[in-house]
């Protein structure tokens, strides 16, 4: 199969007709970066409703970890659906949920016994962790980080500090949320160690001195690699510093692995790159290869709330649990390894492009979670925001699906089945798109 293969103008006639109907009846709050209308796909190849084939380096926002419709995941879903589709875990028991909780207890980056709460999405995982942190510590305040994304429901939105449009018009938000600085080694003048130290000092010397007493803080909620914020990889010392601070003050460390988890970084969880152990871990996106599932794993002694304290009718749906069990098996049987190997290859190829494209300011990431930051000038690091958008569009026109992240970065977050050859194709198209945009002077 030749991929990509673009046969029509984009969007093609069928895509245009669907987009027109969408405009009339679907909430306009969704951000559609380009007019892609899917018909079907397989692995890292997606076909639109006009028969155009694209290489997928977006994976439905880092969700389709095993590639879409992996036969083993499809079989697990069909087998479970044929037995029973729903039986609320709030009121009754079913084995797929127990088996998944057992599996998560063995892989979650948490020391000691682990329990899991089941929801349906990343934002629900965040909400569960907020409630749990307040319940367990009997404290109210939360520390999150600028640039972070933890969801869009009322509690998680108060933590999210990514784009103002996500908050504008929705206040007042959850009180007692304080935002600290997240280190950006590329933009720090003093390098990784210094920015880690500065970010830690901000909490210790400013937040805890001027704004909130540490013994009134329930949780520090942090992404081990910032996702929507631009695929920013912090120094290890930053995350370790948060761990020590939390332990010192009896604060729970909540690690948001919603985007960075489930093999994406070449390890099962990004925390493993930093030897980080959390008290609570939130997981969603890639966990069930595209079926809705969001879980909150916690130290068993922390997740000690009584029946009725928290629950969800659909959370941990048996079909989603079956998909997650198949996903974890596939990840363990080689896909995490593939993410590490093909991720290194993709990263090397993208770094090589920096030699000929001054627009590339930084290439960073782990495994198949790679961010490319675009700048107008490498000295001043002026953000190339319009150029970024133009490059994403130019890639789409050539048959490569990518997404932006942060103000001026592009993320490569393909399914973890991406091959070296497909990575080479992605690099070649990205190269052409960079040349086109640089030439157009945008």
Ligand X SMILES: Cc1ncc(COP(=O)(O)O)c(C=O)c1O
Binding site for ligand X (CB under 6 A): 61, 121-123, 126, 149-151, 223, 227-228, 256, 258-259, 284
Nearer of residues 32 and 204 to ligand X, judged by Cβ: 32
Residue with the two structure tokens 């006009």 = 50
User: Closest approach of Cβ 225 to ligand X, in Å?
Assistant: 9
User: Closest approach of Cβ 56 to ligand X, in Å?
Assistant: 17
Cα radius of gyration rounded to whole Å, the chain = 21
User: Closest approach of Cβ 140 to ligand X, in Å?
Assistant: 21
User: Closest approach of Cβ 339 to ligand X, in Å?
Assistant: 17
Number of residue whose CB is nearest ligand X? 122
Nearer of residues 99 and 163 to ligand X, judged by Cβ: 163
Nearer of residues 148 and 425 to ligand X, judged by Cβ: 148
Nearer of residues 145 and 208 to ligand X, judged by Cβ: 145
Q: In whole angstroms, give the CA distance from residue 31 to residue 12.
A: 20
Q: How many CB atoms lie within 10 A of CB 213?
A: 12
289 within 8 A of 326, measured Cβ to Cβ: yes
User: Closest approach of Cβ 256 to ligand X, in Å?
Assistant: 5
User: Closest approach of Cβ 126 to ligand X, in Å?
Assistant: 6
User: Closest approach of Cβ 128 to ligand X, in Å?
Assistant: 12
Q: In whole angstroms, give the CA distance from residue 96 to residue 105.
A: 14
Q: Please list, in sequence order, all residues whose beta carbon lies within 8 angstroms of the beta carbon of residue 393, skipping any fewer than 6 positions away.
A: 33, 34
Nearer of residues 180 and 258 to ligand X, judged by Cβ: 258
386 within 8 A of 375, measured Cβ to Cβ: no
97 within 8 A of 179, measured Cβ to Cβ: no
Q: In whole angstroms, give the CA distance from residue 295 to residue 282.
A: 6
User: Closest approach of Cβ 147 to ligand X, in Å?
Assistant: 11
Nearer of residues 96 and 227 to ligand X, judged by Cβ: 227
Nearer of residues 140 and 166 to ligand X, judged by Cβ: 166
Burial status of residue 236 (CB atoms within 10 A of its CB: 0-12, 13-18, 19 or more): middle
User: Closest approach of Cβ 53 to ligand X, in Å?
Assistant: 26
User: Closest approach of Cβ 13 to ligand X, in Å?
Assistant: 31
User: Closest approach of Cβ 294 to ligand X, in Å?
Assistant: 6
User: Closest approach of Cβ 227 to ligand X, in Å?
Assistant: 4
Nearer of residues 149 and 269 to ligand X, judged by Cβ: 149
Nearer of residues 200 and 403 to ligand X, judged by Cβ: 403
What does each C-alpha distance from 211 to 1, 161, 220, 240 come to in angstroms? 59, 18, 15, 23
Q: Please list, in sequence order, all residues whose beta carbon lies within 8 angstroms of the beta carbon of residue 164, skipping any fewer than 6 positions away.
A: none
267 within 8 A of 295, measured Cβ to Cβ: no
Nearer of residues 256 and 389 to ligand X, judged by Cβ: 256
Nearer of residues 4 and 290 to ligand X, judged by Cβ: 290
Nearer of residues 227 and 266 to ligand X, judged by Cβ: 227
């Amino acid at each position: 199969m030749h991929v990509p293969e673009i046969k029509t103008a984009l969007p093609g006639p069928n895509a245009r007709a669907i987009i027109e109907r969408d405009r009339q009846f679907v909430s306009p709050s969704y951000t559609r970066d380009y007019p892609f209308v899917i018909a079907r796909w397989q692995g890292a190849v997606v076909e639109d409703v006009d028969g155009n084939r694209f290489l997928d380096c977006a994976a439905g926002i880092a969700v389709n970890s095993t590639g879409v419709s992996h036969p083993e995941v499809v079989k697990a879903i069909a087998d479970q659906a044929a037995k029973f589709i729903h039986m609320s875990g709030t009121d009754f028991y079913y084995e797929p949920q127990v088996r998944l909780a057992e599996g998560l207890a063995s892989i979650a980056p948490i020391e000691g016994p682990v329990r899991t709460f089941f929801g349906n999405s990343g934002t629900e995982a965040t909400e569960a962790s907020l409630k749990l942190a307040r319940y367990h510590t009997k404290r109210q305040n939360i520390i999150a980080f600028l640039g972070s994304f933890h969801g869009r429901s009322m509690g998680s939105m108060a933590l999210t500090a990514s784009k103002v449009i996500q908050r504008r018009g929705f206040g007042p938000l959850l009180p007692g949320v304080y935002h600290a600085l997240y280190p950006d080694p590329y933009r720090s003048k003093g390098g990784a160690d210094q920015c880690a130290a500065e970010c830690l000092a901000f909490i210790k010397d400013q937040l805890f001195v001027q704004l909130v007493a540490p013994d009134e803080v329930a949780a520090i909620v942090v992404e081990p690699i910032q996702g929507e914020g631009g695929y920013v990889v912090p120094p290890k010392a930053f995350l370790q510093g948060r761990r020590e601070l939390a332990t010192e003050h009896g604060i729970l460390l909540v690690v948001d692995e919603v985007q960075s988890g489930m093999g994406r970084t070449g390890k099962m969880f990004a925390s493993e790159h930093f030897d980080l152990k959390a008290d609570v871990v939130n997981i969603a996106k890639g966990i069930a290869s595209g079926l809705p599932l969001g879980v909150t794993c916690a130290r068993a002694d922390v997740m000690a709330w009584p029946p009725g304290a928290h629950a969800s009718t659909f959370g941990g749906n048996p079909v989603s649990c079956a998909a997650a069990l198949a996903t974890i098996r596939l990840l363990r049987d080689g896909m995490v390894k593939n993410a590490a190997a093909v991720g290194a290859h993709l990263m090397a190829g993208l770094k090589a492009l920096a030699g000929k494209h001054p627009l590339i300011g930084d290439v960073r990431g782990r495994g198949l979670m790679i961010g490319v930051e675009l700048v107008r000038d490498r000295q001043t690091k002026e953000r190339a925001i319009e150029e970024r958008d133009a490059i994403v569009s130019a890639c789409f026109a050539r048959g490569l699906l990518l997404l932006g992240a942060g103000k001026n970065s592009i993320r490569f977050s393909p399914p973890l089945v991406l091959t070296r050859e497909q990575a080479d194709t992605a690099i070649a198209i990205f190269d052409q798109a960079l040349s086109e945009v640089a030439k157009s002077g945008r």
